[in-house]
Amino acid sequence: MTTLRTRVAIIGAGPAGLLLGHLLERAGIDAVVLERRSREYVEHRVRAGVIEYGVANFLEESGVGDRMRREGLVHHGVELRFDRASHRVALSELYDGRAITVYGQAEVVNDLIKARVATGAPLLFETEVQSISGLLNSTVTIETQSPDGPLTIEADFVVGADGSHGVSVASIPASVVTRYERVYPFSWLGILAEAAPATEELIYCRHERGFALYSMRSPSVSRLYLGVDPNDSLENWSDERIWDELTIRLATDDVPAIQRGPIIERGITAMRSVVIAPMRYGRLLLAGDAAHIVPPTGAKGMNLALADIRVLAPALIAQLHEGDDRLLERYSDTCLERVWRAEEFSTYMTQMLHPHATDEFENGVQRARLRQIVTLESTARSLARNYVNLSSLQEPGA
Ligand code: APR
Ligand code: PHB
């Protein structure tokens, strides 16, 4: 039986866990990142790809934004399509010249893994955390299963950045934590395709047959989504049916049909909102998807995860360098204020863009909301601020 002693054990090598590991390493604090999957797996997991203005700046300030700045696609607007017409929301004009960066989460993860591997700091793949104990004691004990057999980690703090369904939330007694949850009556069928993007900007589309989204990863790779029934499955969707449906939903009276191409990845994801409160229990701090899930319509998942770390890293550093607990004590409240704002925005976007099968009153409200964005500047401005920078609106100067 091997035991490893560290100051901070970080569970999960997603964007949250890896960025925290990087910032602690820069501050000279010894930490171990534990990841149950292989490096190959996490580097190729296809996820969302919109980085907010303030979060992109934060990645750059953290020393891991070089490739994002070089290769990320800077977008100054998004398109809204409904009732067969296309409307541009000029994000940058509406919000002080600020823009979003389209750069896949897998790329962020790649950059962070490279940065950690370059320092030689511990990043243990294929090492699954099985139990966490002693959260109210002075030392936390974490039992893992590693490729070399059982491995015990002893740490001052443990950070649960282990995504949804992680082991860390389960180690908090149910009586001291509240789980707020909403399940939406639709899922997204997502594809990655070798096809040149239809336009230079993302297209969020509401069609009577359902939601559609046109996004991209590069000038030759597109990422597209269709809103589908939660009980639907991939077997029902041939390549041809996927493209036909995307073509119908995204059609307008004056824009050419979308380009088709080989589909290189596909999946169906259910949509839900979850908030776990508080985000701390004794020596356990939750971050990212482990603490909150948003439906993808607002593109907030990765931004919230990275914004948690912007609060958590200085809090842990102050505690471990100076014994100063004040920031750590405020961690959960500071994050939850932003998380609930993101839940509100994501719910708003989701409900406005997914037509209801039978409720025509609801459909009338959805279309009125969309028309309000494209006709009323104050509404468009509010959308632009939330879309471009929600996760940093509490930061000074935002
Ligand atoms: N032991 C070790 N690792 C674990 C365990 C465990 N018991 N359970 C989960 N993990 C790992 C997962 O394999 C995953 O790689 O934790 C990692 C969590 O990473 P993410 O799911 O990427 O979560 P996070 O870093 O919070 O990033 C949130 O992910 O789902 C998207 O939209 C979401 O973009 C957002 C981002
Ligand atoms: C994506 O590019 O995968 C993407 C973009 C915007 C969203 C969700 C996903 O709202």
Mean pLDDT, the chain, whole residue set? 96
Distance CA 46, CA 43 (A): 9
Q: Which long-range contacts (CB under 8 A, 24 or more apart) does 66-69 make?
A: 66/111, 67/107, 67/111, 68/101, 68/103, 68/107, 68/108, 68/111
- Within 13 Å, how many C-alpha atoms sit on residue 128's CB side? 9
Name the one residue in this structure whose structure tokens are 């590991």. Answer: 21
Q: 35 CB under 6 A from ligand 1?
A: yes
Radius of gyration of the chain (CA): 21
- Which residues lie closer than 8 Å to 218 by C-beta, 6 or more apart? 71, 73
- In what helix (H) or strand (E) does residue 368 lie, and over which residues does it extend? helix 360-375
Name the one residue in this structure whose structure tokens are 């090492």. Answer: 127
Neighbouring CB atoms inside 10 A of 248's CB total: 14
- Which residues lie closer than 8 Å to 196 by C-beta, 6 or more apart? 219, 220, 222, 259, 261
Q: 52 CB under 6 A from ligand 1?
A: no
Upstream peptide bond of 278 is cis (omega within 30 degrees of 0): yes
Q: 295 CB under 6 A from ligand 2?
A: no
Q: What is the pLDDT of residues 27-57, one digit of tens each?
A: 999 999 999 999 999 999 888 899 999 999 9
- Identify which of 289, 294, 339, 391 to mutate to test ligand 1's pocket (most ligand atoms within 8 A of the CB): 289
Burial of residue 239 (number of CB atoms within 10 Å: 0-12, 13-18, 19+): middle
Neighbouring CB atoms inside 10 A of 348's CB total: 16
Q: Virtual CA dihedral for 392, 394, 395, 398, nearest 10 degrees? A: 70
Neighbouring CB atoms inside 10 A of 194's CB total: 13
Per-residue pLDDT at 127 exceeds 90: yes
Q: Which atom belonging to ligand 1 lies closest to the Cα atom of 168? A: 7
114 part of the active site: no
Collapsed DSSP state (helix, strand, coil) of residue 305: helix
Residue nearest to atom 6 of ligand 2 (CA): 299
Catalytic residue among 15, 296, 331, 355: 296
Mean pLDDT of 364-383: 98
Per-residue pLDDT at 292 exceeds 90: yes
Residue nearest to atom 4 of ligand 2 (CA): 48
Instruction: Note the pLDDT of residue 194.
Output: 96
Collapsed DSSP state (helix, strand, coil) of residue 283: coil
Collapsed DSSP state (helix, strand, coil) of residue 200: coil
Instruction: Note the pLDDT of residue 197.
Output: 87
Cα(12) to ligand 1 centroid in Å equals: 5
Distance CA 300, CA 350 (A): 12
Label residue 199 by pLDDT band (50, 70, 90).
confident
Cα(154) to ligand 1 centroid in Å equals: 21
Q: Treating both helix axes as pointing N-terminal to C-terminal, what angle do 326-353 and 377-389 enclose, rounded to 10 degrees?
A: 130
Instruction: Note the pLDDT of residue 218.
Output: 87
Instruction: Note the pLDDT of residue 83.
Output: 95
Q: What is the pLDDT of residues 58-79, one digit of tens each?
A: 999 999 999 999 999 999 999 9
Collapsed DSSP state (helix, strand, coil) of residue 346: helix
Mean pLDDT of 154-178: 96
Instruction: Note the pLDDT of residue 46.
Output: 84
Q: 49 CB under 6 A from ligand 1?
A: no
Per-residue pLDDT at 255 exceeds 90: no
Residue with more model confidence, 187 or 257: 187
For residue 9, what are the β-bridge partners? 32, 158
Q: Which ligand is nearest to the CA of 146?
A: 1
Burial of residue 360 (number of CB atoms within 10 Å: 0-12, 13-18, 19+): exposed
Collapsed DSSP state (helix, strand, coil) of residue 392: helix
- Which residues lie closer than 8 Å to 198 by C-beta, 6 or more apart? 214, 222, 250, 255, 258, 259
Q: Which atom belonging to ligand 2 lies closest to the Cα atom of 299? A: 10
Instruction: Note the pLDDT of residue 395.
Output: 83
Distance CA 312, CA 287 (A): 8
Catalytic residue among 300, 331, 354, 355: 300
Q: 32 CB under 6 A from ligand 1?
A: no
- Within 13 Å, how many C-alpha atoms sit on residue 266's CB side? 16
Distance CA 110, CA 88 (A): 32
Per-residue pLDDT at 1 exceeds 80: no
What percent of the chain stands above pLDDT 90?
A: 92
Q: Which two tokens stand for residue 231?
A: 């009980």
Instruction: Note the pLDDT of residue 256.
Output: 76
Distance CA 75, CA 95 (A): 13
Per-residue pLDDT at 87 exceeds 80: yes
Q: Please report the domains of the chain, with CATH numbers, ordered by start residue.
A: 2-74+98-182+272-356 (3.50.50.60)
Task: Name the amino acid, one letter, at 136.
Answer: L
Label residue 200 by pLDDT band (50, 70, 90).
confident
Cα(153) to ligand 2 centroid in Å equals: 37
Task: Name the amino acid, one letter, at 73.
Answer: L
Label residue 346 by pLDDT band (50, 70, 90).
very high
The lowest-confidence range among 161-165, 367-371, 394-398 is 394-398
Mean pLDDT of 126-134: 98
- Which residues lie closer than 8 Å to 350 by C-beta, 6 or more apart? 184, 271, 295, 297, 298
75 part of the active site: yes
204 part of the active site: yes
